Amino acid sequence: MKEILKINKITKIYKNKFKALDELSLNINEGEIFALLGPNGAGKSTLINTVCGILNFDDGNISVNEYDIIKDYRKARSLIGIVPQELNLEAFETVWNNVNYSRGLYGKSPNYQYIEELLKELSLWDKKDNKLRELSGGMKRRVLIAKALSHEPKVLFLDEPTASVDVELRKDMWKVIQKLKEKNVTIILTTHYIEEAEEIADRVGIINNGKIILVDEKKKLIQKLGQKILKIELSESIKSIPNALESFKLQLNNEKNILTYTYDTKGKNTGITSLLSEIKSLGLQLKDISTEQSSLESIFLNLVKESENEFARA
Ligand SMILES: Nc1ncnc2c1ncn2[C@@H]1O[C@H](COP(=O)(O)OP(=O)(O)O)[C@@H](O)[C@H]1O
Ligand SMILES: [Mg+2]
């Protein structure tokens, strides 16, 4: 597997001394859909704008297809397309002119056939002579994607492509992104919707306070998602986990009065009934019982909490 984008220990400090990226490293595989997930203010846009050369950075290095984005600026930049978070378009131009013009900005010679195919693929062809101000929000976003793809980049960044769009359009957008993947375009998108990362990404990276706190295959995250935790509080503490309960792989807390059992909600048999009847036949008295979901949401919140604690300690 080839790593098409290598981000190595990037630090970005804004003029007001705010450190928005903190020695952040991340590698992206060619052809994957990577979702950068994080709360508002985490540093997602800063990271994307840095990689795309819109913002400068203070330390570290970045390469696209082995081209350093500073030393080989032109080559690196020509491989990248970006769909920015904000919708800013030349309102009085037509779709056709706008997208062809964007291609020219990258020093590429005109290719009307390519642009025609692109507009058709994005369901924009019948709007090609419309002025941008005549388009709906969703169509404008498609134009932004067309512009970003006008010079045939290998890596496409989408900064919150579905923020403040309705459910229908979001699904449409996911289809567009999936189609691009089929054409072997590498996709990096930012989002603060967990559902979005779950839906379309191959891998998910979680960012907070300018640091990547976790990168994992989405499938693995979902596996963790299907797990629940059962907490069994006993009336009296025990010395150790009884042998009869060994097969349940329980954990005992330091005070030795709470047993925790992790089970798979997607499995046929959770094992809860037999666990509780074993506990009963051992004569242990229960004080309380509770379950916790380890959803991506809670994994996310816990990770963010942990990294905030680290942040506070630093
Ligand atoms: N031009 C700037 N000057 C100072 N701080 C900034 C600037 N732009 C963004 N920030 C700060 O950097 C942090 C990351 O911002 P941003 O990358 O936009 O986050 P995200 O896209 O994840 O919401 C935020 O705390 C934001 O307030
Ligand atoms: Mg942002």
- Please give the chain's pLDDT, 314 residues, in tens: 899 999 999 999 999 999 999 999 999 999 999 999 988 899 999 999 999 999 999 999 999 999 999 999 999 999 999 998 877 777 789 999 999 999 998 888 999 999 999 999 888 999 999 999 999 888 888 899 999 999 999 999 999 988 777 777 788 788 888 988 998 999 999 988 877 888 899 999 989 899 998 898 988 877 766 678 899 999 999 999 999 999 999 999 999 999 999 888 777 788 999 999 999 999 999 999 998 866 556 666 666 666 666 666 65
Ligand number nearest CA of 158 is 2
pLDDT of 302 reads: 64
pLDDT of 274 reads: 93
What is the distance in A from the centroid of ligand 2 to the CA of 313?
26
Substitution site in 46, 157, 164, 300 for ligand 1 pocket (most atoms within 8 Å of beta carbon): 46
CA distance 88 to 143: 11
pLDDT of 314 reads: 59
What is the distance in A from the centroid of ligand 2 to the CA of 290?
37
Question: Nearest residue CA, atom 25 of ligand 1?
Answer: 41
Ligand 1 atom at minimum distance from 48 CA: 17
pLDDT of 263 reads: 86
Ligand number nearest CA of 19 is 1
What is the distance in A from the centroid of ligand 2 to the CA of 85?
7
Ligand number nearest CA of 206 is 1
The structural domains of the chain, ordered by start, are 3-223 (3.40.50.300), 227-293 (3.30.70)
Question: Nearest residue CA, atom 27 of ligand 1?
Answer: 41
Ligand 1 atom at minimum distance from 207 CA: 22
This prediction's pTM: 0.78
What is the distance in A from the centroid of ligand 2 to the CA of 175?
22
Bridge-based pairing of strands 211-217 and 251-252 is unpaired
What is the distance in A from the centroid of ligand 1 to the CA of 46?
6
Substitution site in 14, 24, 47 for ligand 1 pocket (most atoms within 8 Å of beta carbon): 14
Ligand number nearest CA of 37 is 1
Pocket of ligand 1 (CB under 6 A): 14, 16, 18, 20, 38, 40-46
